[in-house]
Amino acid sequence: MRNWYVKLNKQAQVESNIPVEPEVAPAVDMSAKPKRATQGEKKQWHNAIEQAIGTSSYFEQIPLGPMMEALKQFGVTTVQEDGTDWSGLFIGGAECGDPKASSQNAKLELARNGELVNAELYMTWCKMPSGSYEVVWYIT
């Protein structure tokens, strides 16, 4: 289904003199069997994140940027379903205790040095009456 759209889109770009961007190959092969990440490695990644964001569970905003930066020192990145670097938004400002808050979670797949690993960064969040976010996270 995607091929006819790409072909039609390229034809339209050529006819209108719009430069055609080459298709970018995914950074990570999501069909490959994940490489094994040891419990020790996962603990290192956890500790690096904890060092970057602290041990508190309360934040003015969800600290995803510092978490991702902490993982980069080990060659670890978060990836999307298509194998490219993760990008997105975390939506949901339900207050803690509200049943709607139970759906505010994210499971981000991890890759190390361009290869999928058997680990994920899992997070949940809810908004406190003070306006801060309570964020619970762990690496599986």
Q: What is the pTM of this model?
A: 0.77
Domain presence at residue 18: no
Residue 27: per-residue pLDDT: 78
The region, left, alpha or beta by phi > 0 then psi within -120 to 50, assigned to residue 75 is left
Give pLDDT, residue 6. Answer: 46
Domain annotation covers residue 78? yes
Provide the residue range defining the domain that includes 110: 26-139
In a domain, 9, yes or no: no
- Identify the residue with better confidence: 90 or 118: 118
Q: Is 125 inside a domain boundary?
A: yes
pLDDT tens digits, 36-90: 999 999 999 999 999 999 999 999 999 999 999 999 999 999 999 999 999 988 8
Which range has the worst mean pLDDT, 13-17, 61-65, 120-124? 13-17
Q: Residue 10: inside a domain, yes or no? A: no
Tokens (6 digits) for 42 = 């996962």
Question: pLDDT > 70: what percent of the chain?
Answer: 81
In a domain, 12, yes or no: no
- pLDDT: which is higher, 24 or 123: 123
CA 42 to CA 130: how far, in whole Å?
A: 33
What is the C-alpha to C-alpha distance for residues 31 and 56, in angstroms, rounded to an integer?
A: 37
SS3 string of 7-24? HHHHHHHHHCCCCCCCCC
**18 pLDDT more than 80:** no
Structural domain total, the chain: 1
Give 21's pLDDT tier (boundaries 50, 70, 90): low
20 found inside a domain: no
Q: Which of the two residues, 83 and 14, has the higher pLDDT score?
A: 83
Judge whether 7 lies within some domain: no
